[in-house]
Structure formats: C-alpha cells, structure tokens
Amino acid sequence: MSTSNINNENYINRELSWIDFNKRVLELAIEEETPLLEKIKFSSIFSNNLDEFFMVRVASLKSQVDGGISKKSQDGRSAEEQLDAIRNYLDPILDKQQSKTKYYIQDEFKKNNLFILEYKELNEKQKVWIDNYFTNAIFPILTPLAVDPAHPFPFISNLSLNLAAIIFDRETEKEQFTRIKIPGESISRFISIPIELDDNQSAKYTGIAIEQIIANNLIMLFPGMEVKAYSFFRVTRDADLELRDLEADDLMSALEEGLRKRRKGGEVVRLEVSSNTPEIILDLLQEGMHVEKENLYQIEGLLALDELIELTAINLPKLKFKEHQGITHNQLKNSQLRETEDLDIRNKNNFKSIFSIIRRNDLLVHHPYNLFSTSVEEFINQAAEDSQVMGIKMTLYRISKDSLIIDALIRAAEKGKQVMALVELKARFDEDNNIQWAKQLEQSGVHVVYGVIGLKTHTKIALVIRKEKNRLRSYFHIGTGNYNSKTSKTYTDLGLLSCQPELGQDLIELFNYLTGFAKQQSYRKLLVAPVTLRHGIEKLIKREIKHAKTGLPAKIIAKMNSLVDPEIIKLLYEASREGVQIELIIRGMCCLYPQKKGLSENIKVKSIIGRFLEHSRIFWFNNDGNAEVFIGSADWMRRNLDRRVEAVTPIEDNKIKKEIKHLLDSYIEESKDCWIMQSDGSYIKNEILNDKKRYLQEKIIKLYKKEAN
C-alpha cells in the first residue's frame, strides 16, 4: 500500500510514541495521590513493558542495522537514528524512575513501617537469621562459573539477574572472574525477615533483596580466596520468534523449538549494570557478551525493577487503591447457574438461563465494572451444561493459568457436544501457556485449530449453537479483550452478547474461514480483517468527510490502544481539513499530530492512564445524526488491519448505542487521569484544581455501583 504522499514531518515515530506511553505509566508511579504500593506496582509495570520493548522493537532495529537494511521509518529515520533517539529519550526517564523508586523504598516505606534493608543495616539477630537462610535455602543451588582459558564466558540467559565478581587467589596471586546467576524462579527476589527479629516493634514488614544476601556471603562460595570486587548485571536479548508458517509442517512443534531458542536467547540488545561496577568487571562483561557502548545502561539503584511487583503482595490495604469488586450485569442477576446447581431449586428461584435473557435483547458487558465471571464465563459455562446446546466455537488468544472457560469447554466435549477452540499459538510471550492448553483441550476431545496460515488470529469471538423448536439458533459474544479471568479484573473491555441472526451467520462463516479452506471475502455486518475491515473503516471516515463537504454536522469519536496506520492517519488529516470534528481517545502509541495548523486543527487526542489498563476499542460515526457504532478487537495499525484476523461488530441496539455514547462522552470530559496531546506530539497531564473533577475510572466505578442499587 503506497504511503508516498504522506509527509515525514506529519507522522510521529512509533517507537518514541511508545516510550511516551510508558512514560505516562511511570507518571502514575510518581503521582502524589497514587498509594505507595501502587506506585511500586506501576514502576514494576513500566520496567516490564520496557523489557518487552527491548526484546522486540529495539531488537528489530538492531537486526536492521546488522543486516544493512536501509529502509527508513514512516517519519523518515534510519534504524541507527531511531536507536540513537530511543537512547537519548530513555536515559532521563530511567534516571527519574530510579531516583523515585529509591526514595519510596528508603524513605516512604520507612514512614509506613516497611523496611527493605541493605545487609549492612541488619541487626545482629537478623544477620544470624539471614546467614542461616543463605546456608540452608540459597547456597546449595548457587553455581559459580569461572572464566579462564579452560572455562569460556558462560551464556547469560535473557532477563536473568547475575552477580559478577573478581576473586583473588592468594597462593597463585592471580585474579579470576566469576559469574553467579541469582536464582529467580525458585526463590523470591525479596526475602521476608521475621518481624520478631526486628528491634522496631512497629514494623509491618521487613525484607532484604536476595542479591544482597548472596553478595555478603560470597566468601562461603570461595573458601580460602579473597573477594576483590563484585557487581550486579542483567542482560536483555532478542526474543522475537520468527516463524515461517508456510515452511512448518507442524506449527506446534515449530513453536516449541522456537521457544527453546528464545529461552536460550538471541543477541544481547541491552546490558544493565550497577553504576558502581568496577572497570575491570565492566570490560570483561562487554567483551564476553560482545556488547557495544550504546547498549550499556549503568543503573543507579536496584536492577530488574519489574520484580518489585512482589512487594505489592504485602497485606496493607491502606497503601493500595480501594479494592474494586465488579458487579453482575443487572439483567444477568437471576441467571447464575453455579449459584443454584439443582434444576428444581433454580426454577423455584425464578432462575432464567442466560440464553433466554439474550433472546429478549442484546447485552453490553463492560469489564472490570461488570464481572467477567457472571457474564462471559457464565455464558460459556451454561453452554457446556445446557442439553439443548449442540456446539461451541471460540477463539483463545491469551488465557489465564486457571481458566474456568477451558474447564467448561472440556466438560462440553465430554458431554458429546461439538466443541472447537482456535488457540492462537503465536500470541507473543504467551506461546508456551497456549501450547499447554492446546494439548490439554485436544486430549479431552475438543477440536483444536491454530488459525489461518500467515495470519495471527487476534479476534475475540465465541459462538454457541443451540437447538430450539426444531431449529438452530446462534448465540454469541464479540469482545474487545481476551477470554482471561485475570486480566478482566484490570483491563477495561467491552463485549456484546447477542443472538442477532445476521451477525450469527457472519460468525459461522468466519469460523469456517478460520478452521477450513473457505475464502470468505464479504460479510453481512461484521468488519473482518484482513478482508473488509480496512475498507470498512475508510468508507465510514469518507462518509463523514462527504457530510462535512455538504455542510452537514460531521463527527468521529474513536477509542483504541494505538493509532499507527499511515493510510488511516492520512484520511483523518483529510477529514479534519474538511471540517470533521474528531475526538480520539488513545491509550498508547499515536503517530498523528493533533491540532496542527492547516493539518489537524479539528482533531483532539487524549490518553487515559489509570488503575485499569484501557483496552476497549470503540468507533463512533455521527452519520448525519443516525450514529453508527462499532466495537471490536482491532486497533488502527497495519498489523491489525492487514496481517491479523480481527472482527469488529456494529452495535445496533439503540439503548446500547446511547450507553456507549455516554461512556465516550465521559472519556472526552476533563478528568484527573487524562493526558492531553499537544500539537507538537507531547503530552500534558490534565491538572484540575476543581475537586469535583475526579479520576474517570473511579467515576465509572461509582456509576455502575449506583445503577446496581
């Protein structure tokens, strides 16, 4: 697809836009009103996000440089220029994260009687306990690896925390380099010290980082030697899997082999070291792993801050957000099968099956405000138990470790129902989990498929076929988020529960496309990528342009995770110039400049970053007062529009359309968790002095609770 007529200066670099998003996540860790343990959580999320960014995006740019690829980004930068820009932008952000995290742990924690101590701060009782703990629980599993002519530099696994040391042999008077991997899977990063050993009787928690324990007991690993110096380090490797679907006879086997390679790791794309690392250790690390200066990050403070998430398990509710418990959708309150297992009791208690409720009207569920367990999980659970249900078909992209939906699909298959699950094995960093689920489903009699060759199946759809009065009726769920009970509590997502015949038929044909050799090129109502979604979205935008040209009110409101696609951006610029009013609510990357004179004066962009991850995708088009509304799984990115299977559904129920419009209006209003994008691409936090203007997500929580009462 040609983008030659898109000016470089009108397109924001996607990598820098992503860093901007992650910077906004970090701001939640810095914001004064964020509770202390939530600050730690958001700092951890920032680091976890950044790890993935290096493993995939930075690794890709480095591969381009190493491969001599001269292709420039949409904003006109070479791979080298992008890597330089990433480094320059990241350095001050990382410094800020470290200084704030250090302040929280050293000062704010202590004010709340929480103590993360260094070894030198331990009292005598604590030292005795820690040293015994080291001897019994850590020492036996450590493996010092020497580096000398007989021992080559050891392989350093991806994202592992390590200790490097210089050991002096008094007999030979020689220094030797050694590496010790800090155990990360078998032992917690932070070791809790019994409170009774603390001299401070008001202490709520006392702990110490495991690397501190190991570093101060090194002499036990090297008896008769002298520890001259030590430091901590961590590497990030290229972890993107390159799978040639067309060449793989068995996709699962190919993936398992790819995962084995990933665990070993590709090229080092980042080396993090403690800022006080001695030059001799630094030189040996860089030489041993072939790390260039531009890939070296010297960190003032703890490494591997993603592991701070462990500290959020400390049971101090006052230092966290007020616990949120979603509510059951009003129309589903009498439809909970698990609450009344006996059929006779259910009938006496006015139990209504979820299918009878959906037959009356469409339902919109909004997580985490509406419970996932009493809506989507209940839909699949009742489908498994209902004797009139003939078949169930689902796409599974990211699945929780303890999935009740998987349990329901297995039960349904065991009862003789036709059950099909499309398990997307290529869901990045969830591949291993999905492979295990696919094997378990297959062993239980579920028909498991892996999607269309060359495309990742990202759509979130579930179809239930039920026999009613000598006919088959299709019930379905089309969502914006994964069938994952864990993320449903922290991601905001929408889902449509319906039995509309035309949409049901579209889904039947879409599943046939996913499981067989059907080459479906058109659908009645669904917008499906990669066949009709791009054209459908462009057509809807062009219709608003046409209305604006004829003097009619024209408006677009779109909420998504990312806006990156050059063709869609070009069309939005055109719409703005013609007078279409455009409101964009974009959580993450946005490569479009808003409110730029002569280009995008009618476009406003906001980003909502709050306690929940904004994940729903909503597209609203005014259509001369007869609004058309869509929800689905796709962002406006090339990969979603052209290289994935996605499904976006129209919302035709007027009551639900009004509900969604009210929700969008709430997002557009000023709130404390809103960032406003400026015409130069930067973001400014919406600082509101009026106390009546509160955090949007908290406002929505209260609205749902009010409706439930």
User: What are the backbone dihedrals phi and psi of residue 227, each rounded to the nearest 5 degrees, phi first?
Assistant: -85, 110
To the question of whether residue 49 is assigned a binding role by annotation, the answer is: yes
For residues 135 and 140, what is the distance between their CA atoms, to the nearest angstrom?
7
Query: Comparing C-alpha atoms, which of 105, 225, 123 is closest to residue 176?
Result: 225
At a CB cut-off of 8 Å and minimum separation 6, what does 110 contact?
none
Residue 587 assigned ligand-binding role: yes
- Residue 522: partners with Cβ closer than 8 Å, 6 or more residues away: 531, 532
Active site residue 458: yes
Q: Report the C-alpha gap between 620 and 554 in whole angstroms.
A: 11
Q: What's the rounded Cα separation, in Å, for the pair 709 and 697?
A: 19
Cβ-proximal residues to 383 (8 Å cutoff; 6+ apart), any chain: 389, 392, 408, 412, 464, 466, 475
Residue 293, burial from CB neighbour count under 10 angstroms (0-12, 13-18, 19+): exposed
Q: How far is CA 190 from CA 42, 156, 202, 210, 300, in A?
A: 18, 22, 20, 6, 19
SS (H, E, C) 307-349: HHHHHHHCCCHHHCCCCCCCECCHHHCCCCHHHCCCHHHHHHC
Q: Hunting for tokens 């929780």 — which residue is that? A: 400
491 is in an annotated binding site: yes
Q: Is 483 annotated as a binding residue?
A: no
Contacts of 19 (CB under 8 A, 6+ apart): 53, 86, 89, 90, 93
The one catalytic residue in 458, 535, 547, 662 is: 458
Asked if residue 694 belongs to a known ligand binding site, the reply is no
The response to whether 447 counts as a known ligand-binding position is no
What angle do the packed helices 79-103 and 14-30 form, to 10 degrees?
Answer: 0
Helix (H) or strand (E) holding 604: strand 603-608
The token pair at 561 is: 């995770």
Beta bridge partners of 229: 166
Q: Is residue 589 within 8 Å of residue 19, measured between CB atoms?
A: no
Q: Which tokens hold the place of 684?
A: 């400014």
Known binding residues for Mg(2+): 398, 428
Known binding residues for ATP: 49, 491, 587, 615
Known binding residues: 49, 398, 428, 491, 587, 615
Active-site positions read 458
